Amino acid sequence: MIGLSAKKVVCLFAFILSACVSLPTLAEKHSKKEIILVSEAWEDATEKDGSGLYFEIMRRVFEPLGYRIKTITTTYSRSVYLVQTKKMDAFLGSYIDEQEKVLYPYWHFDAEQVSAVYKASVIPAWEGETTLKGRTVGWVKGYDYNDYIETKFNIHEVKSRRQGLSMVYSDRLDVLLDARAELEEEFALGYLKRDEFEMANIMDLKLYPGFADTEKGQELRRIYDERFEELLNKGEIKRLYDEYEWEYFPFSVNPSP
């Protein structure tokens, strides 16, 4: 009985030792060729089912090199956290240097058109960013557009676009700033008449992937910049934008024939 038990122990030890040697190797190999992208779910850009322009751009960048893209959608704040803590490889939709403990590439993949919504009776003539000087300007809490605007004005954060637009309508807010696409979607809900407001583009904020600050993340950032520029120059990024009927193409480039 003792001899048999000893043999079992030896076999068990050998099995465990083999597993300890082989499993990390397999996990390491798998993790190097799989890229886990995490993002908030945005319509036609990062859908829950893995479709959308942004996810497709990342596939075109990495998959021809043998990588496999896995997508996860969650809240924006959680997607940032998962990359900062190195649990995921990259998140999408960040302004440059917006977050700490992540790696930013050179190339953006889109740009958000930030627009000002106001009433003509309050601002008869829009003259660019300086029009905001001394006025009360609002946006949804956490967006911090003042970090990207030099003009000084009074800030009033709101809980939602609906609240912000209602405050502009009732003259409690001079201007509401938000992404043009999001504002148009809000107007489409119909609780306020679109023609009672004016809208002017105030700036474009480029959108980037944020990579985990790891050795793998550094390599992915390098590949992303090289491949994205290649695809952009070949016209493949423009073709994707056209395929998804994207209204705005935030690049100045003449594709090579």
Structural domains in the chain plus CATH codes: 34-110+207-244 (3.40.190.10), 111-204 (3.40.190.10)
- Whether the CB-CB separation of 116 and 176 falls below 8 Å is answered with yes
List the pLDDT tens digit at each of the 257 positions of the chain: 444 454 454 454 544 444 444 434 333 444 789 999 999 888 899 999 999 999 999 999 999 999 999 999 998 889 999 999 999 999 999 999 989 999 999 999 999 999 999 999 999 999 999 999 999 999 988 788 999 999 999 999 998 999 999 999 999 999 999 989 889 989 999 999 999 999 999 999 999 999 999 999 999 999 999 999 999 999 999 999 999 999 889 998 765 54
Of 217, 2, 242, the closest CA to residue 104 belongs to 217
63's CB contacts (< 8 A; 6+ apart) are 69
Of 76, 82, 91, 89, the closest CA to residue 36 belongs to 89
Estimate the crossing angle of helix 53-62 against helix 215-234, to 10 degrees. Answer: 100
DSSP result, 93-145: EEPTT-SSSEE--S--SEEEEEEEEE-TTT-SS--SGGGGTTSEEEEETT--G
- d(Cα 208, Cα 57) in Å, to the nearest integer? 12
Of 213, 214, 241, the closest CA to residue 60 belongs to 241
* C-alpha of 107 from chain center: 13
